Amino acid sequence: MSRALRRQQLIQKPPSKGPSFRPGGQRPAKKQQAASGEAPRKRSLVERIPIVGGGVRDVLVELKKVTWPTREETTRLGIAVIAVSIAMGILLGGVDMGFNWLVDNTLLR
């Protein structure tokens, strides 16, 4: 027998691994309602819709966590937004008038 054949016999492949999870035991029992006499909370119409219901509940929970600004902060920031919008409008209007004058006096003559 040749040396290569003897080596092949010595090299063994590791055993193939089967799946690590093998179902076969009992399934876990479903959660049962509290036996303390508590009635389950009645779900609203929106919560009964499968796709929308959970999302609406999550949105309401998140809205409770929001830190809302005071009336003074809202007024001050609103005035700042209006002032910046007016300033940008005047600036862009001036740039537009400048380009308009430039086109009229150079290209259209």
Cβ-in-10-Å burial (0-12, 13-18, 19+) of 88 comes to exposed
Whether 102 is covered by a domain: the verdict is: yes
Of 48 and 9, the structure prediction assigns the larger pLDDT to 48
Distance in Å from the first CA to the final CA of the chain:
102
Q: What is the pTM of this model?
A: 0.45
Tell me whether residue 11 is in a domain: no
pLDDT tens digits along 64-86: 899 989 999 999 999 999 999 99
* Res 99: pLDDT: 95
Domain that holds residue 86: 73-109
Closest CA to 104 of 48, 96, 3: 96
Domain count, the chain: 1
* Residue 10: inside a domain: no
